[in-house]
Structure 1
Amino acid sequence: MVALNALLRMQSVSRAADSANITQPAMSAALARLRQYFGDPLLITKNGRSTLSPLAQALSTPVSEMLRSIDESIIAQPLFDPAVSDREFRLLAADTVIAGLLAKPLQYISQIAPHLRLDITTPHGDITEKLDRGQVDLIIAPEAFCSSCHPQELLLEEDHCVIACAKNYGSEHLTLDQYAAADHVEVLIGPTREPYLPEYLFSTLGITRRIGVKLDNFSLVPFFLTGTTRLATFPGMTAELYRCFADLKLLDLPFELPGVRVVMQWHSRANRDPGLAWLRTRIQQHLPASHQEYRSRLYRLALETI
């Protein structure tokens, strides 16, 4: 199973051998036995390149999940000691969440668990698929983008607001007509490039937004607002983060939008993982207790960056 998983992931006998820490002849022999067992070539080589057969593609996810389940349920140690553990945790979160919410909890965690390793990535592709394939241990994202098939824990709830260039929007009040007439900056998420805020939320209000700038990265938004009359609509904490690094102001929405629920999500097979449970608890404990504390943290973050 280990050899099969390596071959399916690497699609190369030599790279699979390196991944499984065995010799190339041993991996070639394993592939020969697997081909005989399944009655299928599994790896098809053409013009010097190897691709997976249809059967191999179908086997990829269940084989990976089975091995990960064995690792977590049987091989993994039942106890977790943060003071000595050198385990690597793989987290997935938007760049603004990493900078604004996770930076402080992870700093604290590094002090009490100095040997832990963190592999932090931003969302690209299907985040649920990454969780199912065991490529991430913990997702921190809006509830709307998470799976209903795995457990989750609420981190915070917040309202949306409008972000604009401070020089070009002197008034504290934004009208519905101004909002509807403006160009907007939107972030597109996932492999299907879905807008962070679906357009149906606005169509029910009789508004058709003109998206002047489409981005795939939240941290780029401030650069396309400063010096323009464009608007962006994002959660309040994200907006506060933007304001630390650009001459922007926050405006109240001239209409109602549903708030955003930010959650932590993990795979159901990791429910009894003591290390992951410890990590979730520490993140929860060291989140900002209020918007005021959050703004204070961001101010210190901006000073450290400067």
Structure 2
Amino acid sequence: MVPIDDVDTGRAANGTVSSSRLTNLDLNLLVALDALLQNRSVTKAAAAMGLSQPALSASLARLRRHFDDPLLSRRGNEYFLTPLAQLLRERTHTVLAGVERVFAAEPVFDPSSSTRQITIVASDYSVAVLGAPLTELLERDAPGMRVHFSANTPSIIDDAEQALVGVDLILLPHGFITDLPHSDLHDDRWVCIVADSNDEVGDELTHEQLASLPWVMTFHSPTASTPAARRLRMAGVEPRVEVVTEHFLTVPALVASSRRVAVLQERLARRLAPDSGVRTVRSAVDLGSLVEAMWWHPVNTRDAEHEFLRDAVRRAARTLDHR
């Protein structure tokens, strides 16, 4: 990678970068730092980078001097990240991905010859619904492109703008991200599911049953929950949560052959196999609908390659009602 000759960690009042601590450092140290923090081992990091252990040890020594912190702390035969290293781990990985995107830019974009890897942060619901039509479209129009679907997490959503420095898109319904460029893709609505064998529930879950039966919930925490769960609470129903999962595709198996209930996106519920062991029922509480959208960093708004990708995602979404 290219060296950094006159770039610093300090920023002037006008937001520009001043010259200080990063003088004489180079971007290869960022690669080394990422490998060390991800692998938590000099030996494993050296192997991942194709370097000798002494060479990476020298980089670690430079990084320790720069941060005035050991970064990796040895206890017995294991290495542990220091508190500063834990803070740097995700930040470094994100920034490195952003740097790689800068140096992968081309003056003219031709999708038919592009070999770039696209990274899309998405839930398993989004991948299940949009993954096939999007990859089919890219296979036809940009056969050399590769798609990496990365799972979303509450920490990514809480700092979406920072996360989007290193990824192309986040697929997520409205209600979680604000003040970032986005484009709506498709509508969906929430439905309730119960086990086929659950004879307590007829065609509708009553208000009392919503409050008394055990629940399977997705992303159940103070900062992460589905809009449907929030609507239940607004209607005075506090779900009795028995199981929590961060994967929508696992919900039916956790409901089948049990007294549990759950909410699921209708497009996903329609894809369930006849022998899934669950059925959809109405809810006495209006669970509302959702609008799935794609979100991106403002720096990519006018990037030709990114514009092609966004158009491809929109075209894939338009095919959903015909599948």
Using structure 1 for the length normalisation, give the TM-score.
Answer: 0.76
CA distance in 1, matches of 2:95, 2:227: 36
Which piece of structure 1 moves more, 165-174 or 117-126? 165-174
Q: Is the 8 Å Cα contact of residues 130 and 317 (structure 2) preserved in structure 1? A: yes
* Pairing 1:13–2:42 present: yes
Q: Partner of 1:303 in structure 2?
A: none
Matches within 5 A, 1:20-99: 20-60=49-89, 63-99=92-128
Partner of 1:209: 239
**Gapped regions of structure 2 (runs ≥ 5):** 1-26
Name the structure 2 match of 1:144: 175
SS in 2 for 1:40: coil
Shift of 1:35: 3.0
Tell me, what secondary structure is at the counterpart of 1:155? Answer: strand
Whether the aligned pair in 1 keeps the contact of 2:220 and 2:244 (CA below 8 Å) is no
Contact 1:100 1:241 in 2 (8 A): no
Matches within 5 A, 1:108-257: 108-124=137-153, 126-128=155-157, 132=162, 136-145=167-176, 147-148=177-178, 150-165=180-195, 174=204, 176-177=206-207, 179-180=209-210, 183-189=213-219, 194-197=224-227, 199-226=229-256, 230-242=260-272, 246=276, 248-257=278-287
Identity of aligned residues (%): 25
Whether contact under 8 Å (2:217, 2:262) holds in the other structure is no
CA distance in 2, matches of 1:251, 1:49: 52
Structure 1 range deviating more: 224-233 or 39-48: 224-233
- C-alpha separation between the residues in 1 aligned to 2:237 and 2:307? 43
- Give the counterpart letter for 1:279 in structure 2: L
Deviates more, 1:94-103 or 1:250-259: 250-259
Separation of aligned partners in 1, 2:169 and 2:85: 28
Q: 1-side partners of 2:269 and 2:43: how far apart?
A: 48
- 2:263, 2:147 → 1: CA distance? 31
Q: What TM-score do you get using the length of structure 2 for normalisation? A: 0.72
After superposition, the Cα gap between the structure-2 partners of 1:219 and 1:211, relative to the gap in structure 1 and judged at 3 Å, is same
1:202-229 per-residue CA deviation (whole Å, 9 max, x = no partner) reads: 2432334334544332222233444556
Amino acid corresponding to residue 138 of structure 1 in structure 2: L
Can you list the C-alpha shifts for 1:73-129, whole angstroms capped at 9, x where unaligned? 355224332212222222232223222232122222212222222222434563335
RMSD: 3.6
1:286 aligns with 2:312: no
Give, as a single letter, the amino acid of the residue that structure 1 aligns with 2:64: R
User: For the residues of structure 2 that align with 1:185 and 1:241, how far apart are their CA atoms?
Assistant: 21
Do 1:124 and 1:191's aligned partners in 2 also have CA atoms closer than 8 Å? no
Q: Does 1:3 align with 2:33?
A: no
Give the conservation status (yes or no) of the 8 Å contact 1:17–1:24: yes
Q: One-letter code of the match for 1:96?
A: Y
Q: Quick one: higher RCO (CA 8 Å, sep 6+), 1 or 2?
A: 1
Deviation at 1:65, TM superposition (A): 4.6
Aligned CA distance change for structure 1 residues 109 and 48 (closer, same or farther; 3 Å): same
